Amino acid sequence: MKKLILILLPAVLLWACNEEDEKIYTDADVAITVLQPEEPDITGTTASLTAIFSVPETLRYTNAGFCYSTESKPTIYSATVNASVSVDSLKGVLTGLTPKTTYYVRAFVCMYQGNAVYSPEITFTTGEATGNELLSVWQPPSYPDYYVPLANWSDRDKWNLANVHDPTVMLADDGYYYMYQTDASYGNAHDGHGHFHARRSQNLVDWEYLGATMESPPDWIKEKLNEYRTAMGLQPIAVPVYGYWAPTARKIKSGLYRMYYSVPVDNYIKTGAQNTTANFDGSWTERAFIGMMETADPASNQWTDKGFVVCSSSDKALSYSRTSQNDWNAYFRWNAIDPSLIITPNGEHWLFYGSWHSGIVALQLNPETGKPLNTLGQPWGTASDISAYGAIMATRNKSSRWQGSEAPEIVYRNGYYYLFLAYDAVDVPYNTRVVRSESITGPYKGIDGKDVTNTGGDAFPVVTHPYKFSGSDGWVGISHCAVFNDGADNWFFSSQGRFPANVNGNAYSNAVMLGQVRSIIWTKDGWPLVMPERYAAVPKVPITEEELAGEWQLIDLSYSYGNQKTSSNITLTADHKVSSGLWQGYDWTFDATNNILTINGIDLYLQREADWEANPRRHTIVFAGYGSNNKTWWGKKN
**CATH number, domain at 560?**
2.40.128.10
Give the least confident one: 35-39, 176-180, 624-628.
35-39
Residue percentage of the chain with pLDDT more than 70:
95
The arithmetic mean of pLDDT across residues 519-543, rounded, is 97
Please give the Cα distance from 249 to 280 (Å, whole number): 35
- Predicted local distance difference test score (pLDDT) of residue 17: 45
pLDDT band at 32 (very low <50, low <70, confident <90, very high): low
pLDDT of 408 > 80? The answer is yes
- Predicted local distance difference test score (pLDDT) of residue 7: 25
199 inside domain: no
3 inside domain: no
Whether residue 422 contacts residue 432, with contact meaning beta carbons closer than 8 Å, is answered with: yes
**Segment (H or E) for 603:** strand 602-611
- Predicted local distance difference test score (pLDDT) of residue 12: 29
- Please name the residues in contact with 26: beta carbons below 8 A apart, sequence gap of 6 or more: none
The arithmetic mean of pLDDT across residues 481-506, rounded, is 97
pLDDT band at 34 (very low <50, low <70, confident <90, very high): confident
**CA angle, 345 then 300 then 495, to 5°:** 55
Q: Which of 102, 137, 172 is the last residue of a domain?
A: 137
Please give the Cα distance from 549 to 588 (Å, whole number): 10
445 inside domain: no
Residue 52: give the domain boundaries.
10-137
Please give the Cα distance from 436 to 452 (Å, whole number): 10
Residue 390 phi/psi, 5° resolution?
140, 160
568 inside domain: yes
Residue 260 phi/psi, 5° resolution?
-100, 130
29 inside domain: yes
Alpha-carbon separation of residue 7 from 84, 92, 446, 571, 615 (angstroms) = 7, 9, 61, 43, 28
By C-alpha distance, which of 340, 454, 450, 344 is closest to 393?
454
Residue range 142-155, pLDDT digits in tens:
999 999 999 999 99
The total of structural domains in the chain comes to 2
DSSP state of 236: P
Please give the Cα distance from 337 to 350 (Å, whole number): 15
Whether residue 495 contacts residue 161, with contact meaning beta carbons closer than 8 Å, is answered with: no
Q: Which residues of 470-501 are buried (b: 16+ CB within 10 A; e: fewer)?
A: eeebbbbbbbbbbbbeeeeeebbbbbbbbbbe
The arithmetic mean of pLDDT across residues 455-471, rounded, is 97
Q: Which of 137, 167, 186 is the last residue of a domain?
A: 137
pLDDT of 61 > 70? The answer is yes
556 inside domain: yes
Give the least confident one: 27-41, 211-225, 239-253, 510-524.
27-41
Give the end-to-end CA distance of the chain in Å, rounded to a whole number: 54
Residue range 357-400, pLDDT digits in tens:
999 999 999 999 999 999 999 999 999 999 999 999 999 999 99
pLDDT of 23 > 70? The answer is no
Please give the Cα distance from 67 to 47 (Å, whole number): 12
Whether residue 520 contacts residue 513, with contact meaning beta carbons closer than 8 Å, is answered with: no
By C-alpha distance, which of 62, 78, 79, 77 is closest to 10?
79
Q: Long-range pairs for 506-509 at CB < 8 Å and ≥24 separation?
A: 506/148, 508/186, 509/146, 509/148
- Predicted local distance difference test score (pLDDT) of residue 53: 84
Q: Which of 100, 122, 137 is the last residue of a domain?
A: 137
pLDDT band at 611 (very low <50, low <70, confident <90, very high): very high
Residue range 422-431, pLDDT digits in tens:
999 999 999 9
pLDDT of 314 > 60? The answer is yes
- Predicted local distance difference test score (pLDDT) of residue 446: 98
Residue range 216-235, pLDDT digits in tens:
999 999 999 999 999 999 99
Per the prediction, the chain carries an average pLDDT of: 93
394 inside domain: no
Please give the Cα distance from 37 to 31 (Å, whole number): 19
The arithmetic mean of pLDDT across residues 135-162, rounded, is 96
Alpha-carbon separation of residue 214 from 263, 371, 589 (angstroms) = 12, 19, 53
pLDDT of 29 > 60? The answer is no
Please give the Cα distance from 67 to 82 (Å, whole number): 9
Whether residue 609 contacts residue 517, with contact meaning beta carbons closer than 8 Å, is answered with: no
Residue 558 phi/psi, 5° resolution?
-60, 155
- Predicted local distance difference test score (pLDDT) of residue 11: 28
- Predicted local distance difference test score (pLDDT) of residue 98: 87
Residue percentage of the chain with pLDDT more than 90:
86
299 inside domain: no
By C-alpha distance, which of 249, 228, 245, 246 is closest to 237?
228
Residue 510 phi/psi, 5° resolution?
-70, -10
Please give the Cα distance from 113 to 61 (Å, whole number): 9
The arithmetic mean of pLDDT across residues 529-556, rounded, is 97
The model carries a pTM of: 0.88
Position with higher pLDDT, 309 vs 116: 309
Whether residue 503 contacts residue 552, with contact meaning beta carbons closer than 8 Å, is answered with: no
pLDDT band at 116 (very low <50, low <70, confident <90, very high): confident
Q: Side-chain half-sphere of 162: how many Cα atoms within 13 Å?
A: 24
Query: Residue 53 sits in a domain of what CATH number?
Result: 2.60.40.10
The arithmetic mean of pLDDT across residues 556-571, rounded, is 98
DSSP secondary structure, 162-205, as one string = BS--S-EEEE-TTS-EEEE--S--GGGTTTTS-EEEEEEESSSS
- Predicted local distance difference test score (pLDDT) of residue 58: 72
By C-alpha distance, which of 140, 171, 168 is closest to 262?
168
Residue range 394-406, pLDDT digits in tens:
999 999 999 999 9
Please give the Cα distance from 78 to 104 (Å, whole number): 11
pLDDT of 9 > 60? The answer is no
